[in-house]
């Protein structure tokens, strides 16, 4: 028989084991779907779990945006969704219109100081209200952002006797012609994309330049979310004509058939437009002898810039609402912002983090920040069905880039297609 003291000890051990098991069982697990860089997502997960030992974050890193979108659509249709998703900015309104997302306006109202900052941060806060609001309700928090800058090859500029980047459309064309050397298969510039990669072609290869011409592609009514298209307006047609002329008349922009892999690394293009998301890749893959620098976008009638990026949203089907909200708040906060920027090479999405090195003292980031501070900020207008409609619009732009349709006919077709799709 057990002695009384041994009996009590056994009881205490059993109770301790039961208590420990209860603690383990009480741990909340949330799932986060995202894309890479894996190191950034894993560090955010580890830091959050250390601060919140009662929560486990399962990270699923998808290989592409297309894979993430398709998997998300299947999960929403099946009613078994992840708890938090990192997705494209333009997915938010589309998903919200399907009642697939959890509204976050009450969360933001209760946590204004923590989420928005005091005073509210200019770009971070505007993204919430301008991009993530649908029919008066907010459905996402920012996670990642970028905007266009001009990148140029300092070696090629020096060879051409050019000491700085072009500042205007006129200089862009003048410099581009001077930098083009057919005998070396070297081009003054190239478009960001020539084919329909998501709506990227619209937002970069066309939209970057259209803003400088004061062109407005679409206006969306805040109350209803209904879009009105202005694709065939003179400003838009003139922009497309300017791009096409650079390819086929002035012949300093790479034509589609001349595009080849690694043109930037092989010094076959002198200047190009991209976002800060490219910086990390250049650091990893650019040959040491290739010197590159960053400058503001050349301007014309207007001096304007846009920003886009990725959002954090919570599917309406989450089974862990409160835990998902807390993780989204952290992942959209200042600490996680610096973690992600470190691994991705982008500018922080929190304005306040720009004051910290390397964003405050590295030229590429200083130029990016100054551009955003001095240019007029214009946000893309999103609406339900944006992805499908703008991908169709991109077909017409692509036809013009390939010289298969005149800029006027391309924009007229884009206008007709967009209006028809929305009507349906």
How would you classify residue 135: left for phi > 0, otherwise alpha for psi between -120 and 50, otherwise beta? left
Q: Which two tokens stand for residue 52?
A: 């919140």
pLDDT bracket for residue 22 (50, 70, 90): very low
The β-bridge partners of 189 are 253, 271
Distance CA 137, CA 109 (A): 11
pLDDT digits (tens, 9 = 90+) for 165-186: 999 999 999 999 999 999 999 9
> How confident is the model at residue 19, as a pLDDT?
52
The least confident of 11-15, 31-35, 90-94, 339-343 is 11-15
Beta strands in 9-115 (DSSP E): 28-34, 55-61, 84-88
The least confident of 142-156, 218-232, 252-266, 317-331 is 218-232
| Predicted confidence (pLDDT) at residue 2 exceeds the cutoff of 70 | no
Distance CA 144, CA 123 (A): 11
**73-81 long-range contacts, CB within 8 A, separation 24+:** 75/315, 75/317, 76/100, 76/315, 76/317, 79/317, 80/317, 81/315, 81/316, 81/317, 81/318
Rg (CA), the chain: 25
| Predicted confidence (pLDDT) at residue 117 exceeds the cutoff of 90 | no
* Region 281-286 average pLDDT: 92
The β-bridge partners of 85 are 33, 313
Give the pairing of strands 269-275 and 376-377: unpaired
pTM: 0.90
- pLDDT above 70 covers a percentage of the chain that reads 94
| Predicted confidence (pLDDT) at residue 16 exceeds the cutoff of 70 | no
- Which is more confidently placed, 388 or 330? 330
Q: Is 301 helix (H, G, I), strand (E, B) or coil?
A: coil
Helices and strands in the chain, H and E counts:
18, 15
Question: Tokens 């000890």 sit at which residue?
Answer: 9
DSSP state at residue 397: H
> How confident is the model at residue 196, as a pLDDT?
82
* Region 302-329 average pLDDT: 96
Distance CA 145, CA 422 (A): 28
> How confident is the model at residue 29, as a pLDDT?
97
DSSP state at residue 168: B
pLDDT bracket for residue 189 (50, 70, 90): very high
* Region 95-124 average pLDDT: 92
| Predicted confidence (pLDDT) at residue 6 exceeds the cutoff of 70 | no
pLDDT bracket for residue 5 (50, 70, 90): low
The β-bridge partners of 377 are 305
pLDDT digits (tens, 9 = 90+) for 60-98: 999 999 999 999 999 999 999 999 999 999 999 999 999
Mean pLDDT of the chain: 92
* Among 274, 299, 342, 322, CA closest to 44: 342
> How confident is the model at residue 3, as a pLDDT?
56
pLDDT bracket for residue 417 (50, 70, 90): very high
Q: Dihedrals φ, ψ of 352, to 5°? A: -65, -25
> How confident is the model at residue 69, as a pLDDT?
94
Q: What b/e sequence results for 40-76 when a residue is b if at least 16 CB atoms lie within 10 Å of its CB, and e otherwise? A: bbbbbbeebeeebeebebebebbeebeebbeebeebb
| Predicted confidence (pLDDT) at residue 198 exceeds the cutoff of 80 | no
| Predicted confidence (pLDDT) at residue 14 exceeds the cutoff of 70 | no
Pseudo-torsion of CA 251, 253, 254, 255, nearest 10°? -60
Residues contacting residue 160 through CB under 8 Å, at least 6 positions apart: 175, 178, 179, 270
Q: Is 101 helix (H, G, I), strand (E, B) or coil?
A: strand
| Predicted confidence (pLDDT) at residue 384 exceeds the cutoff of 50 | yes
> How confident is the model at residue 26, as a pLDDT?
72
The β-bridge partners of 31 are 58
> How confident is the model at residue 224, as a pLDDT?
81
pLDDT bracket for residue 43 (50, 70, 90): very high
| Predicted confidence (pLDDT) at residue 416 exceeds the cutoff of 70 | yes
Residues contacting residue 340 through CB under 8 Å, at least 6 positions apart: 40, 44, 143, 144, 346
Q: Please name each of the domains of the chain with its CATH number.
A: 29-146+309-377 (3.40.190.10), 148-307+380-423 (3.40.190.10)
Beta strands in 154-199 (DSSP E): 187-190
* Region 211-220 average pLDDT: 94
On the 0-12 / 13-18 / 19+ scale of CB atoms within 10 A, 185 is middle
Residue 394 in contact with residue 238, Cβ under 8 Å? no
* Region 375-403 average pLDDT: 93
Q: For residue 360, count other CB atoms closer than 10 A to its CB.
A: 12
pLDDT digits (tens, 9 = 90+) for 223-262: 788 999 999 999 999 999 999 999 999 999 999 999 999 9
Distance CA 189, CA 177 (A): 9
Residues contacting residue 25 through CB under 8 Å, at least 6 positions apart: none
C-alpha distances out from residue 245 to 176, 271, 406, 410, Å = 12, 17, 11, 14
Q: What b/e sequence results for 287-303 when a residue is b if at least 16 CB atoms lie within 10 Å of its CB, and e otherwise? A: eeebebbbbbbbbbebb
């Amino acid at each position: 028989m057990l002695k009384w003291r041994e009996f009590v000890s056994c009881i205490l051990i059993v109770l301790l084991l039961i208590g420990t098991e209860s603690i383990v069982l009480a741990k909340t697990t949330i799932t986060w779907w995202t894309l890479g860089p894996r190191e950034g997502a894993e560090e955010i997960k580890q830091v959050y779990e250390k601060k919140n030992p009662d929560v486990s974050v399962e990270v699923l890193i998808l290989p592409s945006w297309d894979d993430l979108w398709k998997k998300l659509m299947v999960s929403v249709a099946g009613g078994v969704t992840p708890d938090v998703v990192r997705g494209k900015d333009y997915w938010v309104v589309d998903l919200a219109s399907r009642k697939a997302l959890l509204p976050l306006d009450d969360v933001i109202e209760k946590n204004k100081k923590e989420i928005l900052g005091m005073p509210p941060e200019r770009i971070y806060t505007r993204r919430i209200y301008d991009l993530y609001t649908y029919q008066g309700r907010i459905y996402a928090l920012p996670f990642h952002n970028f905007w266009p800058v001009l990148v140029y090859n300092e070696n090629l500029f020096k060879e051409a006797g050019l000491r700085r980047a072009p500042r205007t459309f006129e200089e862009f064309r003048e410099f581009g012609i001077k930098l083009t050397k057919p005998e070396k298969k070297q081009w003054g510039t190239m478009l960001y994309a020539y084919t329909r990669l998501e709506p990227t072609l619209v937002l970069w290869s066309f939209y970057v330049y259209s803003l400088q011409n004061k062109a407005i592609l679409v206006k969306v009514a805040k109350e209803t979310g209904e879009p009105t298209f202005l694709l065939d307006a003179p400003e838009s047609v003139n922009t497309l004509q300017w791009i096409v002329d650079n390819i086929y008349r002035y012949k300093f922009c790479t034509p589609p058939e001349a595009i080849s892999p690694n043109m930037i690394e092989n010094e076959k293009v002198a200047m190009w437009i991209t976002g800060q998301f490219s910086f990390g890749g250049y650091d990893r893959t650019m040959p040491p002898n290739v010197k590159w620098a960053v400058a503001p976008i050349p301007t014309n009638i207007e001096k304007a810039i846009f920003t886009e990026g990725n959002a954090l949203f919570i599917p309406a089907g989450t089974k862990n609402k409160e835990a998902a909200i807390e993780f989204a708040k952290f992942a959209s906060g200042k600490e996680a912002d610096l973690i992600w920027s470190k691994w991705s090479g982008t500018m922080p999405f929190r304005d306040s983090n720009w004051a910290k090195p390397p964003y405050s003292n590295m030229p590429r980031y200083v130029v990016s920040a100054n551009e955003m501070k001095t240019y007029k900020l214009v946000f893309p207008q999103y609406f339900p069905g944006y992805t499908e409609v703008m991908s169709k619009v991109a077909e017409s732009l692509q036809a013009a880039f390939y010289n298969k349709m005149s800029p006027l006919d391309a924009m007229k077709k884009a206008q007709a297609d967009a209006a028809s799709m929305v009507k349906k």
